[in-house]
Amino acid sequence: MIRTRNAPSPTGYLHLGTIYQSLFDKAFALKNNGKFILRIEDTDQKRYTPGAVEAIYSGLDWVGVIPDESPKHGGDYGPYVQSERLDIYKKYAQELVASGNAYYCFCPTERLLEVRKKDQKEGRSPMYDKHCRNFPIDESKKRVENGEAHVIRMKIPENEKIVVNDLVRGDIEFDPSVIDDQVIMKSDGYPTYHLAVVIDDHLMEISHVLRGPEWLTSFPKHKILYDYFKWKMPIFIHTPLITDMKGAKLSKRKGHASVDWFRRKGFLPEAVLNFITLLGWSHPEGKEIFSFDEFVKVFDFKDLSAVSPKFDLVKLEWMNGQYLQKLSNVDFVKKLTEWLNYCSTTKYQGATEYESNWSMDDYKLMLNFLNSLNDEKRLLFAEINNQRIKKFEDLLPLNSFFISDFVLDENLLIENKSKEEISEHLDWVKGEIEKIEDWELPNLKKLEETLVKRAGEMNWKVGEVFHPIRVSIVGSTVSPPLFESIYILGKEKTLKFLNL
């Protein structure tokens, strides 16, 4: 049975890497009739952040990568939260002590700091000096029974090369002299990641472990633990490190590491999924755009690359634009509404503040405006915006005149004409609009044609007759198509705005 898992720690906002790994896990499980498990690794209680678990579920729901087993979805291998499994870790840690593969360590922090300092001074990378490793076990046990503070450390075998295998990277050899006698049980009774991950992956019968490249250096410790327990190892794959275009880590400051940043920008989840599948993997037929179902059919862990892929935001924008353009107007409105609803009700989750000129209230206003339109106008709104934007956020500056006032820039309005000329022209347009009895788009389109003729009669360029109308209504020189916008805006507001 294929069983894959993702095991995030609830230590803050949802990192892009969690979605990235989960997507491969889920696809591989689906392809092989297996299961994808979500486990919450909260053994580091100091770093626990309230709300982080909810952010994990919300992000996975958003992209539609739903676990088959998890604390929320249940399953036969629970509990799926590590802090609810402390007795299990304790039992196995004691087993390791009993078999002589782990030992109690009583070194106080001050001593450990001194050892560290000495190492650093003498130019070695800091390592525990194994002070407690060879204490007679009976004595150590007595000290533990007497309540002395302690941790448990695993013994790293000395003088034996440790070879681990990664499905993509092949065999990797480690020199044991540079591996620390890792703490596996902390003094607070919590296991460290290293012990918990091995026990849980084994007991949850995980067949494939996909995880970030930062865990490669811990890999030999895990291999040793599997050997001590005499357990079969799952297949391991370490993903490549995703970098920005300059080869550096994804910027926390710019938000690129946070899933919520992409959601708030207004990228579609299907585009984000499609885009990240192509980081470290390529479609066998070289396709760029494909559905998740199609991806599932062709994906295999072994085809992942170990080479760091570059995260090209420009390409993501292009891809998202492609997805948007394929949407029907009905779907566009539906997704836009969902997005506005999300942004107007949910606070941003990232390493820093989200940079935007829009407040939660602004999103709400836009949502209310859309909801106030009848179906025909709402679909027209979709129609006139759909081809112009790469992501929903681009739509906001183009359409803000629908919901808020602006200070009219007279110079921009008048440009190379005189104030009188423009004023006269706008009065004429107003008069024509007043004459329209049935506020229907074809009638406005007729006015558009009349204006083109009028340009010829006045000896103005065509653009020059439209420019002041646009600026007085929109407040800028860019907007969705003018007469459609005027139609959506309504007669009353249009007349109100057509002034100098």
Query: Could you list the residues that contact ligand GLU (CB under 6 A)?
Result: 7-9, 41, 193, 197, 211-212, 215
Query: At closest approach, how far in Å is the CB of 216 from ligand GLU?
Result: 11
Q: Which is nearer to ligand GLU, 41 or 362 (CB)?
A: 41
Q: Which is nearer to ligand GLU, 40 or 380 (CB)?
A: 40
Identify the active-site residue in 31, 72, 155, 252: 252
Q: Which is nearer to ligand GLU, 29 or 473 (CB)?
A: 29
Query: At closest approach, how far in Å is the CB of 44 from ligand GLU?
Result: 9
Write the single-letter amino acid at 429: V
In three-state form (DSSP H/G/I as H, E/B as E, the rest C), the secondary structure along the chain is CCEEEECCCCCCCCEHHHHHHHHHHHHHHHHCCCEEEECECCCCHHHCCCCHHHHHHHHHHHHCCCCCEECCCECCCCCCEHHHCHHHHHHHHHHHHHCCCEEEECCCHHHHHHHHHHHHHCCCCCCCCCCCCCCCHHHHHHHHHCCCCCEEEECCCCCCCEEEEECCCEEEEECHHHCCCCEEECCCCCECHHHHHHHHHHHCCCCEEEECHHHHHHHHHHHHHHHHHCCCCCEEEECCCCECCCCCECCCCCCCCEHHHHHHHCCCHHHHHHHHHCCCCCCCCCCCCCCHHHHHHHCCHHHCCCCCCECCHHHHHHHHHHHHHHCCHHHHHHHHHHHHHHHHHCCCCCCCCCCCCCCHHHHHHHHHHHHHCCHHHHHHHHHHHHCCCCCHHHHHHHHHHHCCCCCCCHHHHHCCCCHHHHHHHHHHHHHHHHHCCCCCHHHHHHHHHHHHHHHHHHCCCHHHHHHHHHHHHHCCCCCCCHHHHHHHHCHHHHHHHCCC
Query: At closest approach, how far in Å is the CB of 215 from ligand GLU?
Result: 6
Q: Which is nearer to ligand GLU, 211 or 425 (CB)?
A: 211
Q: Is 252 marked active-site?
A: yes
Q: Which is nearer to ligand GLU, 104 or 193 (CB)?
A: 193
Query: At closest approach, how far in Å is the CB of 232 from ligand GLU?
Result: 17
Query: At closest approach, how far in Å is the CB of 227 from ligand GLU?
Result: 18
Query: At closest approach, how far in Å is the CB of 80 from ligand GLU?
Result: 13
Q: Which is nearer to ligand GLU, 101 or 218 (CB)?
A: 218
Which pairs count as long-range contacts for 99-102, CB under 8 Å and 24+ apart, including other chains?
Answer: 99/228, 100/137, 100/155, 101/154, 101/155, 101/228, 102/152, 102/153, 102/154, 102/155, 102/184, 102/228
CB atoms within 10 A of CB 405: 9
Query: At closest approach, how far in Å is the CB of 314 from ligand GLU?
Result: 29
Q: Which is nearer to ligand GLU, 89 or 497 (CB)?
A: 89
* In the complex, residue closest to ligand GLU by CB: 211
Query: At closest approach, how far in Å is the CB of 210 from ligand GLU?
Result: 8
Query: At closest approach, how far in Å is the CB of 354 from ligand GLU?
Result: 23
Q: Which is nearer to ligand GLU, 8 or 59 (CB)?
A: 8
Q: Which is nearer to ligand GLU, 18 or 385 (CB)?
A: 18
CB atoms within 10 A of CB 363: 21
> Using CB atoms within 10 A of its CB, is residue 424 exposed (0-12), middle (13-18) or buried (19+)?
middle
Looking at the annotation, which residues are catalytic?
252
